[in-house]
């Protein structure tokens, strides 16, 4: 039996063989950002989109899927960053900037005249690329 002042800590590579009881007794489970990946950030962000933009979640998700890995790989090979960053950090910045651009360009105010469907499609696409340029590049 351990004394009251003794603590035991185990560091494991993963929890693949841990029982649910063991996991539930952990005070905190730490995961590296690289283990989580950027897709979780995008899905979580899309789930919190305002109702007015919810229909664009699949479009935004597809743009992210087709772009982020390629851009990140290009940056890793061709650009030397003065400050080390990881892909999740850049994706997080992109999503924050995209949120701000949506708030500016597509306000949620019901009194503001809404854009037509085609104009909104073009606007969402343009804002995505604008945010990508400023967050990744």
- Considering the domain boundaries, does residue 51 fall inside one? yes
CB distance 120 to 106 below 8 Å: yes
pLDDT tens digit string along 46-73?
999 988 889 899 999 999 999 999 999 9
- Considering the domain boundaries, does residue 1 fall inside one? no
Q: For position 120, what pLDDT does the model report?
A: 83
Residues in the chain: 137
CB distance 112 to 74 below 8 Å: no
Distance CA 55, CA 13 (A): 39
- Considering the domain boundaries, does residue 105 fall inside one? yes
- Considering the domain boundaries, does residue 50 fall inside one? yes
Place of tokens 């597509």: 106
- Considering the domain boundaries, does residue 43 fall inside one? yes
Q: For position 34, what pLDDT does the model report?
A: 66
Q: What does residue 35 show for φ and ψ, rounded to 5 degrees?
A: -75, -30
* pTM, rounded to two decimals: 0.72
Mean pLDDT across 20-28: 69
Q: Which domain holds residue 54?
A: 37-136
- Considering the domain boundaries, does residue 17 fall inside one? no
Distance CA 46, CA 7 (A): 41
Query: What domain count does the chain have?
Result: 1
- Considering the domain boundaries, does residue 10 fall inside one? no
- Considering the domain boundaries, does residue 79 fall inside one? yes
For residue 54, which of 1, 106, 112, 4 has the smallest C-alpha distance?
106
């Amino acid at each position: 039996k351990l004394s009251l002042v003794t603590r035991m800590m185990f560091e494991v590579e993963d929890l693949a063989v841990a029982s649910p009881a063991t996991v539930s007794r952990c005070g905190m489970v730490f995961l590296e950002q690289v283990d989580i990946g950027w897709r979780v950030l995008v899905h979580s962000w899309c789930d919190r989109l305002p109702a007015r933009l919810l229909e664009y979640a699949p479009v935004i998700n597809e743009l992210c899927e087709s772009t982020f890995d390629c851009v990140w790989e290009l940056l890793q090979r061709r650009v030397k960053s003065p400050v080390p960053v990881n892909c999740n950090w850049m994706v997080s910045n992109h999503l924050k900037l995209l949120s701000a651009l949506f708030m500016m360009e597509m306000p949620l105010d019901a009194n503001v005249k809404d854009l037509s469907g085609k104009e909104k499609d073009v606007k969402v696409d343009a804002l995505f690329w604008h945010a990508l340029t400023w967050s990744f590049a």
